């Protein structure tokens, strides 16, 4: 039994000639790996923004990647400079990556990702600012890694709401 037969992934010798949904197992496996890598970029983006690690966020984009969204129109570098200033208005943020559609064509891909971003502004009257956005990204494989080459951010909705506090009676439920 070869490695592909043992794992069922079709990665062993001769495994590439078995057809799965109109493509070889090797091609199907490559597509799954690419999809996971592209999804990981969006997760790393969310973590990087929330941790205020904008250098790690910049590493997810090609230099000079086109950007259009709430932070203006220009390059990712100008958008991240504006984002650094914008983040200074918030105690914390939490970006949650929702569902994602990825279309791969060789070494290029397009991704549409829905996300919800929660913001806790700095100030005396605590309110939460929540937005629903779509990240429309074009990506390219460069040196074996996927990077964003163009990003359009479309805001779908926003909401401002007073912060709800948890009473001491119920706080142990959330510990």
The DSSP line for 145-156 is EEEEEEEEEEEE
Question: Tell me, what's the pLDDT at 5?
Answer: 41
Q: What is the CATH number of the domain that holds 152?
A: 3.10.450.50
3-class DSSP assignment, residue 125: coil
User: Does any domain span residue 175?
Assistant: no
6 occurs within a structural domain: no
pLDDT mean across residues, the chain:
87
pLDDT digits (tens, 9 = 90+) for 12-41: 445 445 555 667 889 999 999 999 999 999
Query: What's the rounded Cα separation, in Å, for the pair 62 and 77?
Result: 10
135 part of a folded domain? yes
Residue 33 within a domain: yes
Residues 84, 55: contact at Cβ < 8 Å?
A: no
pLDDT tens-digit map of 111-150: 999 999 999 999 867 789 999 999 999 999 999 999 999 9
- Considering its fold, how many domains does the chain have in total? 1
Q: Which domain holds residue 125?
A: 16-170
- Is residue 2 one of the residues assigned to a domain? no
* pLDDT confidence band for 83 (50 / 70 / 90): very high
Vertex 128: Cα angle to 125 and 132 (nearest 5): 155
b/e map 70-88, b = 16+ CB within 10 Å? ebeeebbeebbebbeeeee
Quote the strand ranges of 70-172, DSSP E: 72-75, 90-105, 108-121, 127-142, 145-162
Contacts of 146 (CB under 8 A, 6+ apart): 34, 37, 38, 41, 109, 139, 140
The reply to whether 54 falls in a domain is yes
Q: Is residue 95 part of a domain?
A: yes
Residue 144, in any domain of the structure: yes
């Amino acid at each position: 039994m070869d490695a592909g037969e043992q794992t069922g992934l079709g990665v062993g010798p001769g495994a590439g000639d078995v057809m799965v949904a109109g493509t070889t197992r090797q091609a199907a496996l490559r597509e799954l790996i690419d999809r996971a890598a592209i999804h990981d970029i969006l997760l790393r983006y969310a973590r990087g923004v929330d941790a205020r690690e904008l250098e790690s966020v910049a590493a997810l984009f090609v230099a000079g990647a086109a950007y259009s969204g709430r932070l203006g129109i220009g390059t990712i570098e100008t958008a991240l400079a504006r984002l650094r200033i914008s983040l200074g208005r918030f105690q914390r943020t939490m970006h949650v990556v929702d569902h994602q559609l990825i279309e791969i064509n060789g070494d290029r891909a397009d991704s549409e990702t829905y996300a919800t971003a929660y913001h806790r502004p700095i100030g005396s009257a605590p309110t939460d600012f929540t937005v629903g956005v779509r990240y429309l990204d074009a990506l390219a494989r460069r040196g074996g890694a996927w990077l964003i080459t163009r990003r359009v951010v479309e805001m779908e909705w926003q909401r401002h709401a007073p912060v709800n506090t948890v009473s001491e009676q119920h706080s142990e439920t959330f510990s």
